[in-house]
Structure 1
Amino acid sequence: MNKLASDLGTEKISKLLIKQAVPATIGILVMSLNMIVDTIFVGQWIGVLAIAAITVVLPIAFLISSIGMGIGIGGSSIISRALGANKPEKAFLTFGNQICLTVILAILFVTLGNIFSVPILNLFGAKGAILPIASEYFGVIIYGVPFLAFAMMGNPVIRAEGKPKFAMYAMMVPAVLNVVLDILFIKVFDWGMYGAGLATSLSYASCGLYILYFFLSSKSELKIIPKNFKLDFKIVREIVELGGVSVVRQGAISILMIVLNYSLFIYGGEISIAVFGIINRVMMFALSPVLGVSQGFLPVAGFNIGAEKNDRVKETIKKSIYFGSIIGTIIFIGIVIFKEQIIWIFTNDTTLLDKTPNAMLIVFLVTPIVTMQLIGAAYFQAAGKAMPALFLTLLKQGIFLIPLAYFLPMYYGVNGVWWSFPIADTLSTIITIIVLKSEVDKNLQ
């Protein structure tokens, strides 16, 4: 067992969380910047409809690449527990199976995405004037999605090895490249949405290639061994059960985007989709530190669950929720104070500047408590308990937010869409607290 991984079972919990969460946060922040830069540049240099087009297309790309993320998170849970139980052979076999699954499934879904691109875009809300712009963007970034899927598979595995800084670097590389290429392709070459898509696609490729370089180098404990590509049914089943939680979550998010874009288009037209496009990018960036805490939680909790150190697991849960809640409160205060200034970054369109700030404030209303949801679901993933992890993961996006976003606008118009977010967050958090407390009282005493 490498020393960095074994430290997960001995080092002070608060120090471990900082060591794991800070690089994860920076990586997520920079990766979020990757998407924000596209939105800013197309909003300033192409137009409002371009923001709406990106809002429609990116959930499709992330649905496909979430297959890699699911395989990565499911496999990394097995790897963390295997390292905690001092079973390196199982960790190596799991890693090989992850690579094989990711490559096969990513290529399959990208092929289907190419064949059925127009029906898929229509389903996700590419209506009216949005469709031709969205088609141009989607037709380019689809080729970068397999690289993104591989990167999203490899990133949690690197963290499971106890090397969060390398996971951070893997997310920083594409963000920096995307900024440079966006300026070059959109502003200098004037390639419009094709240029924005090409920049994003090449940045995805750089991320995937960096992850591949890491695993081929001496830096990784988990080597790419061809004999481990042979799928082991028991390992695959466990990866699918645990990783399926992330895939289903992204699937729920994709269905949510369909419902949101439908409601927004019906009750507010293309401009409301653009408003949500800005809010969604701000949400990705602003919530990165909270997501970083939950990502940092996974390897620490998983290792100590495997090592049967229940006191350390409980301490990890408590401190993760504590740190995340403080961060969430700071984020909300920042949104309250700077909401107008934030919108100016994306656009100078007067309609967007008028409609977006108050909508964003409503969406962020209960940000201080969202960490409890994330840690609750992450605990059950780390513990290898797929069903409760799936249930808690689906609470917000699937069980509450989808029906709320569909029905509330019938009575309250576009405002019903915005209020569905804080209502769903509040209900999900209450249920998560009940389920997690029951689990701790029953199995971690």
Structure 2
Amino acid sequence: MLKDTKGVSLLRANPKVAIVRLSLPIMIAQLVQALYNLVDGIWVAGLGPEALAGIGLFFPIFMIILSFAGGVGVGASSVISRKIGERNKDHADSAATYSVILAVVLGVAATTIVLPFLVPILAFAGATGKTLEMATSYSRIMIFGITLLMFNNVVNGILRGEGDTKRSMYAITLGAILNIFLDPLFIYTFGWGIEGAAYATVISIAASTILMSYWLFFKKDTYVSFGLKHLNNANGVLTDILRVGIPTSFAQIIMSISTFVLNTFIVKAGTDVGVAVFTSAWRIVNFGTIPLMGIANAVTAVTGAAYGERNAEKLKDAYIFAVKLGLLIGLCVTAAIFFFASKIALIFTYSESASVIFEDLVKALKILSFFVPTVPFGMFTSAMFQGIGQGVKSLAVSILRTIVLHVFFSWLFVFVLKLGLDGVWWGMLCGNITAEAVTFIWGMMTERKIAVTFRDLADQKISL
């Protein structure tokens, strides 16, 4: 009989301990990744606000493409963790194999379809002149790394699903650290400019892919195994992946579309300079939410395993504990960003050409800092929905937050109340507070319904 790995044993143990121990490696990895994003932004800032704006305009397009890999990865994580809870390794192996195949197919398809239309898409997003030129140069190179990045995202989801977050940390950290060292070399030493930033990223992704491929296909010591033979054991596994993966992908696409729409508001309210402000401020806010994203990944795996075991108490303990922990972290992050906003803004405005955004950036950081403590209530509820296989609910709350509320409030504050750039920041904050409150209430109702269902199933089993 196959011996459980440490990760699998952890998923079946105390849910609070599992949340903490699974979260920490993901937090470290994503903090390193976020540090790279900040460093990348700092190096690119030296090229001027047009370069920052160019990357900012490409980012939502990039995230739309990657959302498919993210969806498959979350779907795989959800199915694998639930099958671990059910002690059904055959189906876990099938989920892993299907996910890797889907990642490669989607990556090749996305590269082929998007590449010819990059310039019109970027122009439609509001890029003009030098900003359009830089955005095009950067994005053309990045597109060629899409397949590798999709593979990485899906494999990370597989590792999280089986509780092996340490190796996920190693792979992400390798790519991020390599990227940090390559950025200044390619951008300034070699004189490649914004193209150097793109080349550094693609090479780093390739290095991470090689490491992951070694673990999966050569060392072969993961809990799940891979091979075409596992496709014969499917029995609805592919459908189960897609049931979570497709709504998750659409949720991420909707977030990217929302960012795309917000960028158009920002361009109208503050020209390309406003996009540079948003890109820089949002990097900091995202950096602050990194610990929360680490916890969210753990919530999906732990609640998935608890759901597979039909243990409602473990599911509730994991969910509520995560929200409390996330709120505490969020309040600390808000205080740090708010009180050090001026010093943080200096990082992105050290060059003479970028100094024009300093005052607007400080204001954006102070307003958006209050965004962070609201995040756990919605993010962890979505993660729980994904863990229990109810991806449509996760999609619904994403639509509510990003399209209905973020965009509506930002439109209201910018175009009706005439608050300019500040209106975008206040709109995002108000929309998020409203959405997270509704989402958390829905999460608690769902958890209670699951508890009743499991109790009824247990009573039926006893009566038989």
TM tier, smaller: over 0.9
> Are 1:437 and 2:444 an aligned pair?
yes
Map 1:38-437 to 2 at 5 A: 38-44=40-46, 46-216=47-217, 217-228=219-230, 234-348=236-350, 349-411=354-416, 412-437=419-444
Residue 36 of structure 2 corresponds to which residue in structure 1?
A: 34
Determine the C-alpha separation between the residues in 1 that align with 2:257 and 2:52: 20
Measured after TM superposition, the shift of residue 95 of structure 1 is 1.0
Distance, in Å, in 2 between the alignment partners of 1:328 and 1:180 is 30
Read off the aligned partner of 2:365 and give its amino acid letter. Answer: M
Report runs of 4+ in structure 1 exceeding 6 Å deviation: none
CA deviations 1:219-261 (Å, max 9, x no partner) are 3122221333679583222212201232112211221122111
State which drifts further: 267-276 or 111-120: 111-120
CA–CA separation in structure 2 for the residues paired with 1:207 and 1:395: 35
Number of matched pairs = 444
Unaligned runs of 5+ in 1: none
Render the CA deviation track for 1:178-213: whole Å, top value 9, x for unaligned. 111111111211110111111111122222222222
Give the match's secondary structure for 1:364: helix
Instruction: Answer whether contact 1:66 1:152 (CA < 8 A) is retained.
Output: no
Report the Cα distance in structure 1 between the residues aligned to 2:232 and 2:286, rounded to whole angstroms.
37
Tell me the percent identity: 27
Q: Distance in 1 between matches of 2:85 and 2:443?
A: 23
Q: How far apart in 1 are the matches of 2:229 and 2:260?
A: 41
Residues 259 and 406, structure 1, Cα contact 8 Å, conserved in 2: no
Alpha-carbon separation, structure 2, partners of 1:17 and 1:427: 27
Matches within 5 A, 1:11-30: 11-30=13-32
Counterpart AA for 1:183: P
Is this contact kept in 2: 1:49–1:270, CA < 8 A? Answer: yes
Partner AA of 1:40 in structure 2: I
Alpha-carbon distance, 1:147 to partner: 0.7
- How far does the alpha carbon of each residue in 1:43-91 deviate from its partner, in whole angstroms, 9 at most, with x for none? 02x1111011111112222221221111011011111111110110001
- RMSD, matched Cα: 1.7
CA distance in 2, matches of 1:184, 1:151: 25
**Of 121-130 and 283-292, the range deviating more from structure 2:** 121-130
Cα 1:406/1:237, change in 2 over 3 Å: farther
Letter in structure 1 aligned against 2:405: F
Q: Which amino acid aligns with 1:403?
A: F
Contact 1:65 1:146 in 2 (8 A): no
CA contact (8 A) 1:178 1:200 kept: yes
Q: Is the 8 A contact 1:376 1:432 kept in 2?
A: yes
Change (3 A) 1:9 1:285: closer
| Greater Cα offset, 248-257 or 166-175 | 248-257
Alpha-carbon separation, structure 2, partners of 1:367 and 1:134: 29
Distance 1:257 1:2 in 2: 42
- How many angstroms does 1:18 deviate by? 1.3
Q: TM-score, normalised by structure 2?
A: 0.92
Distance in 2, matches of 1:371 and 1:250, equals: 17
Name the structure 1 match of 2:461.
Answer: none
- Give yes or no for contact 2:11–2:301 (8 Å, CA) kept in 1: no
Asked if the contact 2:411–2:427 (Cα under 8 Å) also holds between the matched residues in 1, the reply is no
Looking at structure 2, the residues matched to 159 and 360 of structure 1 have their Cα atoms a distance apart, in angstroms, of 32
Which has the larger Rg?
Answer: 2
Equivalent-residue separation in structure 1 for 2:348 and 2:214 (angstroms): 35
Q: CA-to-partner distance for each residue in 1:379-405, whole Å, 9 max, x for gaps?
A: 111011122122123321122112333
Structure 2 gap segments, 5+ residues each: 453-464
Q: Secondary structure at the match of 2:236?
A: helix
**Letter of the aligned partner of 1:243 in structure 2?**
G
The amino acid that maps onto 1:423 is C
Aligned CA distance change for structure 1 residues 203 and 430 (closer, same or farther; 3 Å):
same
